Structure 1
Amino acid sequence: MRNQKIRICVAGATGWAGSALCKGIINDDQLQLVSGVSRSQSGKHLSEVLGTDGTPVPLFKDVETALSAIDANVLFEFTKPDIAKHNVLTALRKGVDVIIGTSGLTEEDYKEIEKTAREKNRAVLAVGNFAITAVLLQKLAETAAKYLPDFEIIDYADHQKIDTPSGTTLELVDRLSKIHQPSDAISDDELVGPVESRGAKIHNIRVHSLRLPSYVIAIETIFGLPDERLTIRHDSGSSATPYVAGGLLAIKEIHTFKGLKRGLDSIMKF
C-alpha cells in the first residue's frame, strides 16, 4: 500500500490495552509509533514507562498537543468515553484517520463523527472488540438471527467497568437489529414485578449487563425456538494480547475507505 511506514499516535498509550498495542506497533516493521497520549505520564518517553527499546516515543498530555508536535497518519483512540469523542473529532479536523477502540460512545456521537469524517475526507474505524473470536461471534450471530427470530444478549464485564453495555455488545446489537428485531410474547405492560429485570431494550433487543469481579469482557447471544436453543459466546482472558493482532490489522487497512465503518470484520476478508 505505502512505501513509507504508517505513523501512529496512540491515545491511552500506557493503559491496559494501549500499552499492549504500542508494543505490537513497535515490533511491526510496517508501522512507526511516533507519539502517545497519557495524562499521568506526560513529559516522559514510552520506553521509560513500558520498558521498550528503540527510538524514544514522547508522551503528551492531550491529543491536540501530540498531533501538533509530531505528524501522524493515524490516531488510535484507546482512552475513556468522557474524552474519546473530543479526541476523535480533534484528529479528524487535523486530517488524521482514526481507529476507535474506546467503548461508551453513543449513536449520536457516531453520527457527528461520521459527518465530520466525510467533511474532512478521512476514515474512522470503530471497533467494539479487536479479538478475532469476538469478530467470529458477531458474524455467527448475524447468520443465526436470519433463521432464529427470538434472542437476547448477556453482556459480562468487570464490576468497575462504567459503560453498560460494553462497546462490543452495542456493536452486536446494532448489527442484529438490522437483520431482525425480536417481538415479546408478553409486553412490558403485562409483566408482574420490576420491568427492569427483563433487561434494557436497545433497538428492541433485550440486553442484560452483568458486572462482577473476574470478568474481563464476555458476550453471550442466546437464540431460542420451541424445544431447542443455540448459545454463541465469546470470553476474553486477563491479558490484552488478543486485541493486538486486530489492532495492527485495523491500522494497516484504515486507508482503504473514507467515512465511518464499524466492526473489525468490515475491513476483513471472509
Structure 2
Amino acid sequence: MTNQNTIPVIVNGAAGKMGREVVKAVSQSSDMVLMGAIDTSPQHQGKDAGELAGLSESLEVPITNQLEPMLGYVAGERQMQPGVMVDFTHPDGVYDNIRSAIAYGIRPVVGTTGLSPAQLEELGDFAEKASTGCLVIPNFSIGMVLLQQAAIAASQYFDNVEIIELHHNQKADAPSGTAIQTAQLLAQMGKTFNSALVEETEKIPGARGSLAEEGIRIHSIRLPGLIAHQEVIFGAPGQIYTLRHDTSDRSCYMPGVLLAIRKIMSLKSLVYGLEKIL
C-alpha cells in the first residue's frame, strides 16, 4: 500500500548482484515501493524483478531496459514523495544515468564507481542548479566508514602507508572507488607519505601499484571468490599497523543503501561519501 510518505524507487542495474539485493531491501521496506527495475541484459528482459532477486512472491515489476520512460513515469507520480534512482550499473554509462535522473527530478543514489573528478564536478553543478539531491557513495558499508576513520587517525602518527583492494574478477574499474576515496581522505591530512629512500625501478610496469595523491600507492587484486575487501597498511620502524575490512555477503551494504534513499529526500546538491550522511 502506498501513500504520500512512500518513496518510489527505481533500481538501475536490477539484474546484477548488487541490484538484486537492492530490489529485496526496497521491497521489504515499509516506507518504499519498487516502481521500476532497469537492466540492459537481454536475457532478463520481462522477468519479474522480485522473482529474479530470489523473493518467494512476484513483485509484478518486470525488468526493462527503458530507463528514461521509467524516469518520466515516476517523475509524474504525484501521490508519493519524489522518486529515487539507485544505480549499480557500469562506469561507462553511470554519468549519463545520473544526468538523466536529475533532469527528470529523480534523485540518484549511486553505488557505481568509476566517475572521474571532472565528471563529479559537472554532476555537482548540474544537481545544484536543479536543486536536486544526488548521493555518490563508493562504499555503502558502515564498517568501511569506520576503517577510513581509523586510517585518518593513524595517519597522524605514521608517514608510510599503502592500500590493497581486492575484488571479484567481474569488477570493471581499478582501483576501486573505495580505495581512491580512502587515499583522498588520507591526502587531506596535509602531509606527503612514503618519502623515497632509494631510486626505485619497476622491472615490470605497475609492479608498485598505482600512484594516488600525496605519494600513496594502491594495489588492485581481481580474483573469483572475492567480493570486496580492503587493507590499509601503515609502516614504521619496528611495527606494522594493518586495517582490513572484508565483505562476505552483499547484504551488508543494504542498511547504507536504505539510509541513503531516506536521507537524499532532504538534499539539494551532490554529496560524496556515506560518512557525510551518517
Instruction: Name the TM-score, length of structure 1 as normaliser.
Output: 0.90
String of CA shifts for 1:222-270, please: whole Å, max 9, x gaps: 1112212211010111x311111111111111123221212111100xx
| Bigger shift: residues 46-55 or 8-17 | 46-55
Could you tell me which amino acid in structure 2 is paired with residue 128 of structure 1?
Answer: P
- Give the equivalent residue in structure 2 for 1:108: 118
Could you tell me which amino acid in structure 2 is paired with residue 45 of structure 1?
Answer: D
Q: Distance in 2 between matches of 1:155 and 1:51?
A: 29
State the percentage of identical aligned residues: 32
Cα pair distance change 1:91/1:153, threshold 3 Å: same
Give the Å deviation of 1:198: 1.7
Cα pair distance change 1:117/1:180, threshold 3 Å: same
Give the Å deviation of 1:160: 3.1
Secondary structure, counterpart of 1:251 in structure 2:
helix
Contact persistence 2:38–2:67 (CA under 8 A): yes
| Bigger shift: residues 155-164 or 90-99 | 155-164
| Bigger shift: residues 104-113 or 43-52 | 43-52
- Give the equivalent residue in structure 2 for 1:36: 37
Match of 1:46 among 49, 59, 62: 49
Contact persistence 1:157–1:212 (CA under 8 A): yes
Q: Distance in 1 between matches of 2:264 and 2:148?
A: 20
Secondary structure, counterpart of 1:215 in structure 2:
coil
- Give the equivalent residue in structure 1 for 2:85: 75
Cα pair distance change 1:42/1:65, threshold 3 Å: farther
- Aligned-residue CA RMSD in angstroms? 2.0
Q: Distance in 2 between matches of 1:14 and 1:196?
A: 34
Secondary structure, counterpart of 1:198 in structure 2:
coil
Give the Å deviation of 1:55: 5.0
- Give the equivalent residue in structure 2 for 1:13: 14
String of CA shifts for 1:61-110, please: whole Å, max 9, x gaps: 13212112333511111111111111001001111111111112221221
Instruction: Name the TM-score, length of structure 2 as normaliser.
Output: 0.88
Contact persistence 1:181–1:203 (CA under 8 A): no
Secondary structure, counterpart of 2:172 in structure 1:
coil
Question: Is 1:211 equivalent to 2:225 in the alignment?
Answer: no
Give the Å deviation of 1:182: 3.1
Secondary structure, counterpart of 1:28 in structure 2:
coil
Aligned length: 265
List, as ranges, runs of 4+ consecutive aligned residues in structure 1 with deviation greater than 6 Å: none
Structure 1: gaps of 5 or more residues:
none
Secondary structure, counterpart of 2:261 in structure 1:
helix
Contact persistence 1:7–1:32 (CA under 8 A): yes
Could you tell me which amino acid in structure 2 is paired with residue 9 of structure 1?
Answer: I
| Bigger shift: residues 10-19 or 258-267 | 258-267
Could you tell me which amino acid in structure 1 is paired with residue 272 of structure 2?
Answer: R
Cα pair distance change 1:160/1:46, threshold 3 Å: closer
Cα pair distance change 1:36/1:186, threshold 3 Å: same
- Give the equivalent residue in structure 2 for 1:88: 98
